[in-house]
Amino acid sequence: METNDKRLTIRDWAEDDRPREKMLAKGVMALSDAELLAILIGSGNKHETAVELSRRILGECHDNLNELARLSIVELCKRFKGIGEAKAITILAAIELGNRRKIADALERKQIQSSRHIFELMEPVLANLIHEEFWLVLLNTANKVIGTRRLTQGGARQTIVDLPMLLKLCLEASAQAVAVAHNHPSGQNFPSSHDNQITNKIKQGCQAIGITLIDHIIVAGKSYYSYADEGNL
């Protein structure tokens, strides 16, 4: 009795199961994360279709797109057979576009009215980093965002803030109020003694030049700590 051991490719699947055709027929919202990823990479390897490879990639990232975003081009190529440099670049470029859309949506907000608004602005920038970065959010009199600036980029534990540079940027932008934000790659959403010291120095420096520090946000993945909300500002 003959058996057919030929592995099915995506072209052999039922049309409803093919990611591109499914998207055309049912819309982008009908696709799973793996199917969207499969469209980006286009093809799999000798043993996996693009969808199967995409499912494995996501599975090794615990089905968490934030974990996927933390991988470098080198790591993607090394860990997953069938992912070369071009495909890895495509994956990370798509993730970055998504992050920039989040930032654009947040910048369209007329006013920063809560710590959540600051978090929504900075989470796409900071949440997936494996090192610390410290950012400045510049505001006008109506608490409208007029700009953001990265002040420093540090190691995995902490970063040093250049207070004179921070104050210079505030004055150059004619900011009336500011917020600051940094991330904890460890995922711990509470401040260290170093964070407290930096916050106090920034608050005092801003007061000296007539600018209000409205909050300091610590981004820890999908959660955050707000000095203002906790009454520590």
**Residue 6 lies inside a defined structural domain of this protein:** no
**Residue 140 lies inside a defined structural domain of this protein:** yes
Compute the distance between CA of residue 188 and CA of residue 186 in angstroms, rounded to an integer. Answer: 6
* Structural domain boundaries, residue 145: 112-226
Same domain, 121 and 219: yes
- Which tokens go with 154? 């540090």
Same domain, 123 and 185: yes
Burial 48-62 (b: 16+ CB within 10 A, else e): bbbbbbbbbbbeebe
pLDDT at 16: 45
pLDDT digits (tens, 9 = 90+) for 104-123: 766 665 578 899 999 988 99
Same domain, 46 and 133: no
pLDDT digits (tens, 9 = 90+) for 8-47: 455 555 444 588 888 888 888 888 899 999 989 888 888 8
pLDDT at 155: 59
**Which parts of the chain register pLDDT below 50?**
1-8, 14-16
Q: What are phi and psi of 220, to 5 degrees?
A: -130, 85
Q: DSSP 3-state assignment of 195?
A: helix
Question: 77: which residues sit within 8 A by CB, 6+ positions away?
Answer: 83, 84, 85, 88
**Residue 106 lies inside a defined structural domain of this protein:** no
Same domain, 150 and 178: yes
pTM over 0.75: no
pLDDT at 8: 46
Residue after which a domain boundary falls, among 54, 76, 101? 101
Total structural domains within the chain: 2
**Residue 220 lies inside a defined structural domain of this protein:** yes
At how many degrees (to 10) do helices 85-107 and 115-126 cross?
160
